Chain A
Amino acid sequence: MVRWIKRLPIVGNIIFLVALFYHGHTGVAIIGGLLNLAWALDEWFPSQIRRFFRPWALVINTAFSAYGVLSGKPSILALFLAGSSLLAWNAGLFLERWSDAPVIIQYRCLRRIGTLSALGLLAGFSAVVLQGRLTLFFLPALLLMLAAGILWLRIISKALTNRNHG
C-alpha cells in the first residue's frame, strides 16, 4: 500500500512539472520528468544507489519548485510539487526501513504522512491566498479554513494526549 502511495505522488510530480515548465522551460520539464520517472522505478536500483538517489530527488524537486516560483509560474503548482515530493520521499523512507510492515502500521504511517502533508499544503495554500496571489470565493475559503482548523486542533490534542500519557 505504501508502495503505491509513494508512486502516485511521483506521477503527480511529473504532471506538476510538465504543467509548470511546459511553456518556456521545456528542458527543465523533460529533465524533471525523467528524474521523477527514475525515482518511481528506484525499487529496482541497488540499495546503495537508491539510498543516494532519494534525498537528491527531493532536493532537486524542491529546487524546481523554488525555480518555478522565482520564474513567475503558478505558485499553487509549485506548492503541490513540493508537497507531493515530500510525501513520496517520506513514503520511500518508510519502505526503505520497513518494506514488509503490517497493514495496521502502514495505515498508521500513511495517516501521519497524509495529515502532515495536507496540513503543510493547506498552510502554504493559505499563505499564498493571504498574499493576494490567489483569489478565492468566500465558500471555498471558509471550507478550507475550517478543514485546516479541525486538522490543526486534532494534531494538537493528539500531541497533548501523547505527552500526558508519556
Chain B
Amino acid sequence: MTRAWSLVTSLCLILLLAGLLLRNGILLALAFPYLLFSLIPFWRSIEEPHLVIERRFEPQYLLGGQPCRMTLSIQNMGNHLEEVFLADVLPAGLRVEGDFTYHGMFRSGQTVKLFSTGRGVRGKYEFSGVRVSTNDLLGMCRHEKFVPSVGTLSVLPAMERLERLKISPRRTRVYTGVIRSRESGAGVEFFGTRAYVPGDPLRHLNWKAGARWDILITNLFEQERVADVGIILDARGVVEVRVDGESLFEHSIQAAASLVEYFLREGNRVGLLIYGRMVEWTFPGYGKQQRARILAALAKAELGEHAVFKELEHLPTRLFPSESQIVLVSPLLRGDVSMLRYLHALGYRVLVISPDPIAFEKRFLPQDECTALAEGIARMERNATLSKLRRASVNVVEWDVTIPLRIPMKQAMVGMKRWSVG
C-alpha cells in the first residue's frame, strides 16, 4: 500500500462515516469512486520480482582518482513487471556518474544494463545490492524488495617508484636476488680470497695475490639473494595528525605501498602488518599476487584506538622470520624507542620511515612566534627520539611529506654503504 492509497481510503472512510452519521445516502454514493480506488490492492496483487543481477568492475582495483567503469546487468527471470524502479545501493564516499537507477517497464526475460563510472579516494567500497520497487500503474500498491548483489571495489593507495635501496638483513633466503647474503658463492661483488682448491673455476684465480704469496689463490664473490621483509604500518590513532581534512596516515600508507612495490619488484618475500585497532597481518609472499593482496589490505587500512595496541610493546615479533628486515612506517612516539631497540637486539634489521608530523602540521598553522616556539620544542623532542634510535643502530629516514619519499631515501643512503651499519 502507498501513501496515495492511504489518502483515497481515508477520504472514502470519512465520506462513508459522514453519510452514516448524517443519514445521508448521497454522501454514501459519493464514496463509491473512492471505494473502488482503495480496493485496487485487493484486486491486483503485485508480482514478486525474480531478478538475476550481475555486477562488473573494470578494473576492480584502481588508483585514487582513476575512473572505474561499473556495469550492472539485471535480468528479469520472473513475470512481466509494468512499472519497476531499480536503484543500486551505492557505498558511502564513492562518486558515481552515469546510470545507477532504472525506472520503466521490465518484460519477462529482458535484461537491463546500467553503466556508470565510479571514482573515490583510497578505500574499500562494498556494494550490497539493488533496491527494487514495483508499482501498479495507478500508484495504489507497491512492493519493495532488496536483491543482494555483492561486489567490492578497491581504490588502492597512491604509490611512488623508489630507487635502489640497500638493505642487509642478517639472514637471507635461498633464492637468487639482489641482497648481499654475507656468504661466498656465485655473485658479482668481491667478497674475499682463499687458497685454490681443485674444482675452483680457473677464471676466478687471483694472479696478483698468487704471485705475492707464491700459491694459487682464488677470488670469492658474495652471493646475492632475496630476503624476508616485514613492513609494519603504524595505524594507531595516537600518532595521527589530521588538519583541514588532510591526514598524515594517508602519507604513511603511500610510503608503505611504495616500499611494498619496491621490495616485491626486487624479488623479496614481503609481509605486511597493520598495527592499530587490531593486528592485521598479510602473510609473506612473492610476486604480483602478493602485491595485490598487500595493496588490497592497505586500501582498507584504517586508524584505530585500542588500549592494548596503544604502545608498540605488543608488536607480535614472532610473525616475522628471525633476523629478517623490518621496515616500520610511523611518525613515531617517544615511547616507541624501547621496542625498536628490542627488535634490533633480537637480530632484526630495522629501518624506520618516519613521516614528519611537525612539518606536516606547520603548513596549516599561522606563521608567528608562538608557532615557531612550539615547533622548536616539538622538533627538539623529536630529534632526541630519532637520535636515540640512531644510536641504537636503527636506520631512520625522516620524511617531510611535501617532498617525494625517494629524495629523503636517497639522501639517507649517501655515505652509508649498507642500511645496516653497526
Interface residues of A (CB under 8 A from B): 55, 58-59, 62, 65-66, 69-70, 75, 78-79, 82-83, 86, 90, 93-94, 97-98, 101-102, 105, 108-109, 112-113, 116-117, 119-121, 123-125, 127-128, 131, 133, 155, 159, 162-163, 165-166
Contact = CB atoms under 8 A, between A and B. Distances in A.
A37 B138 CA distance: 24
B135 A127 contact: no
**Interface of A: prevailing SS:** helix
Given A70-B24, A131-B25, A65 B137 contact: no
A153 to B, nearest CB: 14
A130 B4 CA distance: 31
Contacts of B7: 55, 58-59
A124 B82 contact: no
A149 to B, nearest CB: 15
Interface residues of B, number: 36
Interface of B: 4, 7-8, 11, 15, 18, 22, 24-37, 40, 43-45, 47, 79, 82-83, 103-105, 135, 137-139
B29 A128 contact: yes
Contacts of B82: 105, 108
Contacts of A165: 79
B224 to A, nearest CB: 69
A83 B33 contact: yes
Contacts of A108: 82, 137
B29 A124 contact: yes
A108 B40 CA distance: 15
19 contacts: A58-B11, A59-B7, A62-B11, A66-B15, A70-B24, A75-B29, A79-B26, A83-B33, A86-B37, A90-B37, A93-B138, A94-B138, A98-B104, A102-B105, A120-B34, A124-B29, A127-B25, A127-B28, A155-B43
Contacts of B8: 86
A83 B12 CA distance: 12
A159 B44 contact: yes
A86 B33 contact: yes
A123 B205 CA distance: 116
Contact of A120 (B28, B36, B47, B79): B36
Contact of A62 (B4, B15, B22, B47): B15
Contacts of B4: 55, 90, 93
B36 A116 contact: yes
- Please provide the 7 A-B residue pairs with the shortest distance between their CB atoms, ordered closest to farther: A120-B33, A127-B29, A123-B32, A124-B32, A109-B137, A124-B29, A75-B26
A148 B83 CA distance: 29
A56 to B, nearest CB: 10
Contacts of B135: 97
A69 B33 contact: no
A114 to B, nearest CB: 11
B139 A94 contact: yes
Contact of A69 (B26, B47, B139): B26
A165 B44 CA distance: 12
Contacts of A70: 22, 24, 27
Contacts of B28: 127
A49 to B, nearest CB: 17
B22 A82 contact: no
Residue with the greatest number of chain B CB neighbours at <10 A, chosen from A58, A75, A120: A120
Contacts of A62: 11, 15, 30, 34
Nearest to B28: A127
A159 B22 contact: no
A125 B47 CA distance: 34
A124 B139 contact: no
Given A70-B24, A119-B36, 9 more contacts: A55-B4, A59-B7, A69-B27, A90-B139, A105-B105, A112-B138, A116-B37, A123-B32, A165-B79
